[in-house]
Amino acid sequence: MEKVIIDGSSLTIDQVVAVARDFALVELSPSCIGKILASRKIVDDLVEKGSAVYGLTTGFGSFKDVAINKDQTAELQKNLIMSHAVGVGEPFPEEIVRAAILIRVNSVIRGHSGVRVDTVNTLLEMLNKKIYPFVPQQGSVGSSGDLAPLSHMLLVLIGMGEVFVDGKLISGREAMEKKEIVPVILSSKEGLALNNGTAFMTAIGALAVYDSMNLLKIADVSLSLTLEALTGIISAFDERVISTRPHEGQILCARNVRKVCDGSTLIKKSGETCRVQDSYSIRCSPQVHGACREAIKYVKKIIETELNSTTDNPLIIGENEAISCGNFHGEPVAIAMDTLGIAISEIGSISERRIAKMIDPSTNNGLPGFLIKKEFAGLNSGFLMPQYTAAALVSENKVLAHPASVDSIPTSANQEDHVSMGTIASRKAREIIKNVQNVVAIEIMNSVQGIDLREKYTILGKGTSEAYNFIRKHVLFYEKDRVIHKDMIKITELIKSTEILKVVESVVGRLD
């Protein structure tokens, strides 16, 4: 995707990814110009008349009753951005900042925000010329939206703040000059329109949903490889069985596993082995992976809606009204991202149990303990320690998965007395995804080792064979102890890049 045209109503998660990660250019749809101009005229008229409108002719927050002279409205907007840029902590990665700029612009061009066309174009110019503002990650309570992060972003728009160039921080003004971008002098309402909104929590959410959807498919591939390594029983994935409890998610997971494992001689059916059934981490995987799929489907719907929503305050409605409202409140995103974090945590949890099963000679159906050949065991630890790492990550996720959205703390002298913590929920979900990508990488590393320790005359499934061969191009068989940290990291990189998924889908077709 080389170019994305935004109109305020049709932005997709895939487009956000294209802009955030692949630097696709962004253009404003001509269909938006009339709406932007109309809402701007209403703002100008209200200011000219001296109407009492929050944030246009009054102060902010608990200063809502302090009148502001129309000659001070520009100063009011600049002061808003400067005073609200109070974030702390590590900066957001470039992909999140880029996504946030895109989402904020897509929101304010819907015709309810009162920004000027020139201001919108300057933000798009920053995006297209790869201006990367320094934006600290901490400091947003998620109402009124992402005030602190957005204000740091907007400092650069007005020729202040800091920007990353080649990993180093330089002044925002210097960066804008180098890129030949003229900073904006904010007019009435513009600062408020741009820093009231859910752009950062939604930016994290959009990228997290994209990564989660791919991770779920790769987790199905990883499960399939483990089935091969453990000579698992495929009957629990039988369509006739799965259809008796027709949750869509578990149907899709079981279908994926059947497609990937099709043709295997390692995997058994009921009656072909002395084992009656596999343990829950194998047999119940469609139910667990499936439930997580259903959760992600819900989260995706929320994020897609938020991408194309107006989330500032007050809103320009009709021909002459500015109405104070609560569209900036991040609760929809907060609850969705807490849900995503819980769902992905479960993918990691069941994956770790499969890892533990593969290294334990009492549960791995004939494989040597810790997946090291018996003649080398003792002197060599084999795959003893990777499971420790997986266990640590899963336990960390149990802490991270505690919902942020159930918390609230009053701000602005109790004017803003209930907040969402949506940005915290999004940040936590992002960390959980990273942890689970590593856990699934460890499962894949263990499973291909287990496959190698099986009899050589066996045949892998159509998809598992492709996945196995691809992994073995990058990670060698573990004969004796060596430093395998880099092997783990390499597989994680292949998961993040979706390369494993692509090679499997090249032979079995698109996974669900």
DSSP string covering 20-57: HHH--EEEE-GGGHHHHHHHHHHHHHHHHHT---TTTT
Closest CA to 122 of 211, 182, 204, 73: 182
Which long-range contacts (C-beta less than 8 Å, at least 24 apart) are formed by 250-253?
250/286, 250/287, 250/289, 250/290, 250/291, 251/286, 251/290, 252/290, 252/293, 252/512, 253/220, 253/285, 253/286, 253/289, 253/290, 253/293
Do you know the residue count of the chain? 512
Helices (H) and strands (E) in the chain, counts: 19, 9
Q: How far is CA 201 from CA 107, 137, 198, 335, 462, in A?
A: 14, 10, 6, 11, 40
Bridge-based pairing state of the strands 136-138 and 132-133: unpaired
Bridge-based pairing state of the strands 3-6 and 25-28: parallel
SS3 96: helix
Report how far residue 442's alpha carbon sits from residue 47's, in angstroms, rounded to the nearest whole number. Answer: 61
Options 54, 210, 468, 478, the catalytic residue: 54
Report how far residue 320's alpha carbon sits from residue 337's, in angstroms, rounded to the nearest whole number. Answer: 36
144 preceded by cis ω (within 30°)?
yes
The phi, psi pair for 3, rounded to 5°, reads: -145, 140
Using the 8-state DSSP alphabet, how is residue 320 labeled? T
Q: How many CB atoms lie within 10 A of CB 77?
A: 26
Report how far residue 137's alpha carbon sits from residue 149's, in angstroms, rounded to the nearest whole number. Answer: 7
Answer yes or no: 210 catalytic: no
Q: How far is CA 345 from CA 92, 211, 342, 438, in A?
A: 22, 14, 5, 12
Provide the annotated active-site residues. 54
